[in-house]
Amino acid sequence: MGMLAEDHLPDSALGETMDAVIRDQFIRLRDGDPLYYENDPELEGVEQNLSETKLSHIILRNPEIQSIQCNVFFAKTRFGQHGLLFAQRIPFTRG
């Protein structure tokens, strides 16, 4: 419970301890997964594209969605044009 009371790290929903615990768990899962994309020699040509793809890019591939905020994990109450991604700017979308 104490980890939830920690001050959040900049641009994060987590405090320092919870960040360390979750980061460690994900690193162990990644390193122990033989099917993880960075461990697959057949994906060497597209590895950088995969690494640069964000959840907002994947959501924008839905033809009914025209724009979305850059960070889909945080709710925004107001948008400036710089806070939105538009489908035509994302590769492999209809734009």
Query: What tens digit of pLDDT does each residue of 8-58 get?
Result: 888 888 889 999 999 999 999 999 998 888 888 888 888 888 888 888 888
Q: What is the pLDDT of residue 28?
A: 95
pLDDT value of position 95: 46
Give the integer Cα–Cα distance in Å for 9 and 19: 8
Is 36 found in the same domain as 57?
Answer: no
Segments forming the whole domain that contains residue 72: 53-95
Tokens, residue 66: 């025209």
My answer on whether 38 and 17 are in the same domain is: yes
Of residues 73 and 38, more confidence is placed in 38
3-state DSSP call for residue 88?
helix
- Which neighbouring-strand residues pair with 86? 67
Bridge pairing between strands 67-69 and 84-86: antiparallel
Q: Which residue has the higher pLDDT, 34 or 76?
A: 34
Tell me the Ramachandran region of residue 90: left when phi exceeds 0, alpha when psi lies from -120 to 50, beta otherwise.
beta
Answer yes or no: do 33 and 5 share one domain: yes
91 versus 67: the higher-pLDDT residue is 67
Work out the angle at residue 40's Cα, subtended by the Cα atoms of residues 35 and 87, and round it to the nearest 5 degrees: 90
